[in-house]
Amino acid sequence: MKNPQPAFLFGNGLSMALSQDFSLKKITNKFISGLRGDKKAYLFELCGGENNLDFDDFEVNFSLLEDAYSSLKKYRKFIDTPTGALFLSKFSLPNPNLLKHEEIIKSLYDDYIFQILNLIQGNVTKPAISIKLGVFSQFIKSQLENCSSGYVFTLNYDLLAETILLEEIGTTKFTDFCSPAGNFKGTNIPKYDFDPAMNENKYGENYSASSIELHHLHGSLSLFYDYTRNKAIKFRTDDIFANEVYSNISKQNWTLYPAIITGGGKSLKMNEYPFEFYFRHFKDASTYAKYNKLFIVGYSFRDDHVNKLIKKWIVAVEDFSDGLLIVDYENDINLQKEFKAMVKKKLKMRTPIPDKCFEFGGANAIRDVLGTFPKSKE
């Protein structure tokens, strides 16, 4: 194809190529088995008892934690106001002192993030990527370094995609829509403001050669929301580890919280800042067929809001079967058949997805596709 415009969509399965410890089931079991005392009691209680815990995917439990934390925080803020104090006094109600409860639930969230960070520090490295994902990362390089435009959409927030892009493509050839903005207050840590307007020369209608867009659809562990500035900011991965950023958010009360989407209600959270920017660009690129190849790697097809946009692209191009490749790691023939049937059911296409659009054997089994074209507007 003379004018390649590839798009990559990465799910959590890609990270499992680096280590099986990235499996949601292993992360969940390790996290739950490591809980003690109040944290364990709170998690079990919030989830309706041990029998109601989901040991396969912690995000199911996470949605219950998020709901409880949000409700506690909202009620505590009300109680701390003069109106709240009057409410307690008027109805002779005791002050529930909810801050401790709020802190325990937040610590569950922090511990879960720390566990993933430790996984990243041990596995998402240049040598590990070269050994375990060498063929895959070179394929990305071959597709993106000479394309007229390209997209990388991530659903996993573990920094793997941007590490590959940094190593194989280089900072000058892709944008994550963040610009240098001095140091984070009170520190020597360089920060980068999420500011798409400052990056307009790198994306939009007037593409420069080899312009690549990196969109963190569910956020990233290097992306934070600074609620004192009402801004999303980013730190370099090395700075996050060297300066123990996540630990200091808790210990020194830094005015940050991770800009990631976990748990339930993902489709609603996609409308929140800064995720709505990423999601809107994925929607536009899919609806108007701005890419002519789509490589989907390690995605479980469990997110309806993402599936809808994949389908938008499928109906926007001439022949999606020439431009679509779905890569999975399943080796068992029967499980491969189940996976294909599940994908077809999730996408609900009138024209079934042919077998040629599937490739098994993991990320390194990825291959090129012919490419397709936008449908004629006539």
- pLDDT, one tens digit for every residue, the chain (378 residues): 667 899 999 998 899 888 888 888 888 888 888 989 988 898 888 888 888 777 777 777 777 787 888 888 889 889 999 999 999 999 999 988 888 888 888 888 888 888 888 888 778 888 999 999 999 999 999 999 888 889 999 998 888 998 999 889 888 888 899 999 999 998 999 999 998 887 665 555 544 444 899 999 999 989 999 988 889 999 998 898 888 888 888 778 788 888 888 766 676 778 888 899 999 999 999 999 999 999 999 999 988 999 999 999 999 999 999 999 999 999 999 999 999 999 999 998 888 899 999 999 999 999 999 999 999 765
Domain final residue pick, 91, 123, 155: 123
Q: Are both 75 and 180 inside the same structural domain?
A: no
Q: Please indicate, yes or no, if residue 159 is contained in any of the structural domains.
A: yes
Q: Are both 162 and 267 inside the same structural domain?
A: yes
Number of structural domains, the chain? 2
**How far, in Å, CA of 107 to CA of 43, rounded?**
11
Q: Please indicate, yes or no, if residue 375 is contained in any of the structural domains.
A: no
Q: Are both 62 and 161 inside the same structural domain?
A: no
Q: Are both 135 and 258 inside the same structural domain?
A: yes
By the 8 A CB rule, do 131 and 108 touch? no
Q: Are both 48 and 151 inside the same structural domain?
A: no
Domain final residue pick, 123, 150, 165: 123
Q: Are both 35 and 180 inside the same structural domain?
A: no
Q: Are both 331 and 206 inside the same structural domain?
A: yes
**How far, in Å, CA of 223 to CA of 219, rounded?**
7
Q: Please indicate, yes or no, if residue 372 is contained in any of the structural domains.
A: no
Q: What is the pLDDT of residue 265?
A: 64
Q: Are both 218 and 190 inside the same structural domain?
A: yes
State which residues form the domain around 231. Answer: 6-18+126-365
Q: Please indicate, yes or no, if residue 169 is contained in any of the structural domains.
A: yes
Q: Please indicate, yes or no, if residue 136 is contained in any of the structural domains.
A: yes
> 324: helix, coil or strand?
strand
Q: Please indicate, yes or no, if residue 374 is contained in any of the structural domains.
A: no
Q: Please indicate, yes or no, if residue 48 is contained in any of the structural domains.
A: yes
Q: Are both 172 and 269 inside the same structural domain?
A: yes
How would you classify the pairing of strands 219-226 and 231-234? antiparallel
**How far, in Å, CA of 142 to CA of 154, rounded?**
19
Q: Are both 94 and 241 inside the same structural domain?
A: no
Q: What is the pLDDT of residue 324?
A: 97
Own/partner contacts of 19-27, CB < 8 Å, gap of 24 or more, are 19/119, 19/122, 19/123, 21/119, 21/123, 22/119, 22/123, 22/158, 24/56, 24/57, 24/58, 24/59, 25/55, 25/56, 25/57, 27/58, 27/115, 27/116, 27/119
Q: Please indicate, yes or no, if residue 376 is contained in any of the structural domains.
A: no
DSSP symbol at 296:
E
Q: Are both 277 and 170 inside the same structural domain?
A: yes
Q: Are both 320 and 172 inside the same structural domain?
A: yes
Domain final residue pick, 123, 150, 174: 123
